[in-house]
Chain A
Amino acid sequence: MTDDLHTLAGAYALDAIDDDVERRRFEAHLAGCETCATELREFQATTARLGLAVAEAPPPRLRDRVLADIRDVRQLPPVSPRRAEVRPRRWRRTVAAGLAAAACLVTAASVGVAVHERQRVDQAQAAYQEVAFVLSAPDARSATGRAGGGGTVTIVASASRGRVVVASAGLRTLPSSKAYQLWLINADGPRSAGFLPDDRSRPVVAGAWRPVDRLGVTVEPAGGSARPTTTPIVLISAT
């Protein structure tokens, strides 16, 4: 079954899977299979060459039309889990459950979307990519810490990806004037790594993570602080 899926990378790169269920299953597999992801990247670079080989300039009028059209087309923002519309519960459970679940996450998101809405599926999946990118790393490590005032914080960190995914559960609700600020802490001191989102059940990805870093969470004014001003409610090491 899994072997079967691996061999689909070629057909997928050629857009030759016309069965939506089969394609989704492969896409879900892709999110958790480094081999297929790498292979697909190479395959798409290869099939692009097949396309370049048949280049043929379009009529000049098309250029004018396209350039006029884009003036009315809003550009999408970069992918960011903060902006992503995800199902909170599933996220929290999945991240807490650890790495192997990355593929299931994407499947869960894909299933139940109407068959011909492939574009929307693509967009939804793009939103998961940043988290899946860390979760699917071969060197990803997870750790959970119990917070001082109750609740837990879970991290999944990957040195090769240089990023850490942070998810929380059951943390004390803060007044709107306060926020949970994240810090990456090592011998050089703490660096701010953003905030836990207001929708606390969503994971966030913090960049520039190194294996020497520990993740700390402090309560800060809603606008954030340059340096921690309170004692961390939790301090987690991923190694």
Chain B
Amino acid sequence: MDVRLQISMVFHLDKCIGCHTCSIACKNVWTDRKGAEYMWWNNVETKPGTGYPTAWEDQEKYKGGWEQKNGQPELKMGGRVLRVLNVFHNPNMPTMDDYYEPWTYRYEDLFNAPEGADQPTARPISMVTGRPIDIEAGPNWDDDLGGSPVYAANDPNLDALTPEQRQEVFDLERLVFFYLPRICNHCLNAACVAACPSGAIYKRGEDGIVLINQERCRGWRMCVTACPYKKTFYNWSTGKSEKCILCFPRLETGQAPACFHSCVGRIRYLGALLYDADLMLEAMSVADDKLVEAQREMILDPFDPRVCEEALKNGIDDRTIEAARRSPVYRYVKQWKLALPLHPEFRTLPMLFYVPPLLPVMAKTDDGLYDTANQELFSPIEKARLPMEYLARLFSGGNIEHVRLALKKQYAVRLFKRLETVGDLDPAQVHRALEQVDSNEEEAEQIYRLTSLPTMDERYVIPPMHREEAMQMLNDDLWEEKGEAGIGFHERATRGA
């Protein structure tokens, strides 16, 4: 057992209102600069929809993530030698047109235009060339247009549906969409790390945050292709790739990342997970529909004394283990099985998990009448307007059972609370519902509390980051430095040359 720590995330999709506050918070803090205008380290997509960059989930086009080759995981974009040869021209590199050309407006024109019969206008100006442009796409071009055949029909995930189901999804009566906020997943088996020819991208051992060393990045741009979530971005001005840093400077001072902190819907949870790195190769090598389970298997129980012992041996200290015990992510992902990884079939072992949304039900029945009576216990789940296959395509490598359980459990919790607050349900039936999802009243109450009423401290359980230990990077034996003029990246205070 090789116990490691990962700062991990849960997004509760039922709570996201699609306000984009998270994206703006991130943009203001990190990417409001030349060359980074088009980058949205955090973005919120409408599903069904094509997302950003357009159709990023289509790996036949973008060649992101891993695949099994001769029983070994290999990057979908090809092997090492190919990657070194492709530095001259990366055949699978998305271009700015797959995202959008950033623009601003010539606002001065509004004030400086000569007097005339017409209203002056502020023309859109490209932020790359400085010339007027016709805007053809933007960061949220298909925002809220789920269900519209123009954009949503190109959603790569719809291939999980039968032609009839596809047809139905676009029926006016079924019109449905939900939001999918996305940041870097800080994967365990990060494809960007593996693809970087310079070795500039790395995972921080102490918290699992994936970072790009800006000084070692040489602009070979393989990470842009390799990341199946398209969350590494090429800065066209500095010639370096950049990505979400999970606001590590904030985490190190005990604050939640900007997008978490600002989230209006309070959908975001952050906490530590202990996992067994020895199981990694195994977890990324199973069949698509087994991936969720295999990844869950990797996550260790922080209450297990043996795990704690191994963790301590690996240098994880007890206050960190303590934080892992209070981690909301551990509960959602491992204990409650409510949160699922996004596209586990990309095999990067993403560490951002989503609670799938309870979608509106399909109230209309075959003969055109609305029938709400005579419902089976979980029929609203089965009759959801968006077929469950779609959610399974997103969150469980096609395994419907995981999605079904997550939805049923959320629904059972609702029934349980309704019984308590409204009291118009049959208690026996509610208990039957809880039993069917392998749950009980106590757990239902906990799920309810952490979903609906959590305080900020319950949503973000940030372990102490122990940056003081970073000094060990510089010298194994800090006693050696005792009596010196400080420690760190600095010149020694010596006399003369």
A and B form one complex:
no
Binding site for A on B (CB under 8 A): none
Binding site for B on A (CB under 8 A): none
